[in-house]
Amino acid sequence: MKKIFCEANAKINLTFKILGKSNSGFHYINSIIQSINLTDYLIFEKSKKFQFTGNCISPLKENLILKAKKEMEKNLNRKFSFNVHLQKTIPISAGLGGGSSDAAGTIFAINKLFNLNLSKKKLAEIGFKVGCDVPFFIYGGKCKVEGFGEKITPLSLKNKSNFYLILRPHKRLETKKIYFLYDKTGKNFFEIASNLCPDIKLVYQDLLKFQPVEIGMSGSGPSLFAGFKNYKETLEAAEKFNNFNGDIYITKPTKNAII
């Protein structure tokens, strides 16, 4: 195989709890995470040297795609040369896991491009060294995520929602900062994110008026989601936010994070 087209889907945290903090500084979590069809697109092609094109939204040395490549090389003790082109759709610093999904897509693509035949468990172990969210994206669908993010249990529970309305205020919230403020104040992520971005609380209150079957803030925010049974209800809710200062997406739950 010389070329792979990869769809890297976003996620929402249907539930999220911090259970404690280890001596190493990592936080123990318990979360139910769901893949959604808000997608970054990546094209991987074997080449004589590594090249990155497309949406380079951070210095390349900090990009999770490059980190994933280096971690695969370190783990397997070999070099992988390929071109990767990224077309981003998932907003960054939004609590939707776009960077981690791109990293998981890179690990998945290297495994396929170079016929490594590594198990999903092994790919997730490598992914965890890239970022705590990456193991989930190797599995995708709906999963319970525990530990520091490395313990993944796929769930076969029927989805409460057939569609999710996602509203992302135009405010970037860095996960590291939210965790820092959590450690400092003891407030939950919703309170912390709302203090940094007041639109979060206002939008949440407006979403409640539509009586969604699920509602919440994804990860460290600021993206909010509301789940509905059908498209008509979802669209009607979306149309009420025509003056919203941010991005609006109508999405569906998916069975995979990487396609």
Tell me the catalytic residues. Answer: 11, 133
Instruction: Extract the tokens encoding 237.
Output: 């809710």
Indicate the angle between helix axes 120-130 and 98-113, nearest 10 degrees.
130
The region that residue 69 occupies, defined by phi over 0 for left and psi between -120 and 50 for alpha, beta otherwise, is: alpha
Instruction: Extract the tokens encoding 138.
Output: 């190797």
Q: In what order do the strands lie in the sheet with 214-217?
A: 214-217, 224-228, 163-169, 246-251
Query: In degrees, to the nearest 5, what angle opens at C-alpha 82 toward C-alphas 79 and 83?
Result: 150
Structural element, H or E, at residue 200 = helix 199-208
What is the 8-class DSSP label of residue 220?
Answer: T
The Cβ of residue 142 has, within 10 Å, a number of other Cβ atoms equal to: 21
